[in-house]
Chain A
Amino acid sequence: MFKKFQPSTDVAGQTPVKSSVQRGIRSTILSLWNIDAETLEEIWPKKESIVNVKCRDHLSIYALHGEPLFFQHFDGPYFPTLRLLHKYPFILPHVRIDRGAIRFLLAGAHMMCPGLTSAGGWLPPADAALPTGTPVAFEAEGKEFIVGIGITKLGTEEMKTVNKGVAVESITYVGDDLWAIQKL
């Protein structure tokens, strides 16, 4: 999604978000992410008002003091930015890709099933299976930090049985154009 993204051409405008809408976003995030209210308060204090940076293709980036915190496509789920996720890695469920897949992810490719089901990869066990359309964080084999964020196209149990084709669509990854933006 952010393979090509230039603030000069792709940003349509910035608007402050209404406080009632902010309340809605806050509660959605609390139910969507694995985060407690106190930690969210740390990231985004109640008193501070966030700014909606509207971009092309119905993409909204929400920024606090110019620093992008999370974004949303259409009415889809909210995704944290990678930098935020690096600070709070627990807010999204993790999947691990094997070493061979890293360079494809960093070139912007979607992640295929074998990259997750092979020996280097990791998927949550059956009792913690993730359904389709869940935002997930990509860990990488032998690495400590999260390398990207994606959204599942198959349930994790399905991935194990099908083992073919796109498993997780990549949304943002280290080194894409969103990563390059530190201030909006």
Chain B
Amino acid sequence: MADITTFTQIEKRATPPVQMFYCSVCTFPPEYCEFGNSLSKCKEWLQTQRPDLYEKFYSEEALKAKLGTISQEAQSKLEEDTAKKEAKAEAKADAARKKKLASQVVIKRIERNKRKFVTSIRGLEAFGVDLKKAAKLFAQRFATGGSVTKNAAGIDEIVVQGDVSQEIYDMIAEANEGGGEDGKGGKKGVDILKGVLIDNVDIVEEKRKKDSEQ
């Protein structure tokens, strides 16, 4: 009996959480968008999503009321800063995109012992691929060992047993089929590899020197 009464008390007394609504562009509560670094995008987004809130935050009276105790000078400085920040963030995003376009994925076939090979894949992380998951995927797909190891330079790479370079190339191609920049489309199961630009993938072969001399 006691249990039941306490239970009903809980039902009565627990305070429900406030439903929050966040800007999906900068993740801030929309009233703080003006302090973020993507104000114009946030504004656009809010206008389409929640016109009522847009009216509340960005209408003429709201802008005037917002001035509050702050001086005109400080306000204009703030706006200037926001514009600067926005430009900076955009430049940064642009640089990141360029870097992504320039980065290479190298699939290397390494001769281990006469007719035995391992395949190493380097540079996937630049495209936002989770190396551990990708290694697991390869290991499962080819039923061999696949692991993430640090190479001599201290950079993480995936090493898969066996010569599977062409297969991996095909998998990456398949994952990004029909997808553009955003990496949409492609087949299920290989979507870990999404977002890699197939043009930037190279297959190379490395032979042990000693063996090639023989």
Residues of A within 8 A of B (CB): 36, 38-39, 41-42, 83, 86-90, 98-100, 102-103, 106, 118-120, 141-145, 147, 174-175, 179-180
Contact = CB atoms under 8 A, between A and B. Distances in A.
B29 A174 contact: yes
Interface residues of B, number: 24
Query: 8 shortest A-B CB distances, which residue pairs?
Result: A87-B17, A38-B14, A120-B69, A145-B29, A38-B13, A42-B14, A119-B69, A99-B70
13 contacts: A36-B14, A39-B14, A39-B15, A41-B10, A86-B18, A86-B29, A99-B66, A142-B68, A145-B20, A174-B29, A175-B26, A175-B36, A179-B27
Contacts of A88: 15, 17-18
B142 interface: no
Contacts of B81: 103
Question: Is the contact region of chain B dominated by helix, strand, or loop, or is it mixed?
Answer: loop
B214 to A, nearest CB: 44
Interface string B10-36: 100111011010000011110110011
A119 to B, nearest CB: 5
Contacts of B20: 83, 86-87, 145
Contacts of A89: 18
Given A39-B15, A106-B35, 19 more contacts: A36-B14, A38-B9, A38-B10, A38-B13, A38-B14, A42-B14, A42-B15, A83-B20, A86-B18, A90-B15, A99-B68, A99-B69, A99-B70, A100-B74, A106-B32, A141-B68, A144-B29, A144-B31, A180-B27
Nearest to B30: A145
A103 B35 contact: yes
A98 B78 contact: no
Contacts, number: 74
A10 B9 CA distance: 42
Nearest to B74: A100
Contacts of A145: 20, 29, 31-32
Contacts of B66: 99, 142
Contacts of A141: 68-69
A168 B77 CA distance: 25
A178 B10 CA distance: 31
Contacts of B35: 102-103, 106, 175
Contact of A118 (B9, B32, B65, B69): B69
Interface in B74-112: 74, 78, 81
Contacts of B15: 36, 38-39, 42, 88, 90
Contacts of A179: 27
A144 B29 CA distance: 9
A36 B13 contact: yes
A83 B28 CA distance: 10
B54 to A, nearest CB: 15
A102 B81 CA distance: 13
B18 A142 contact: no
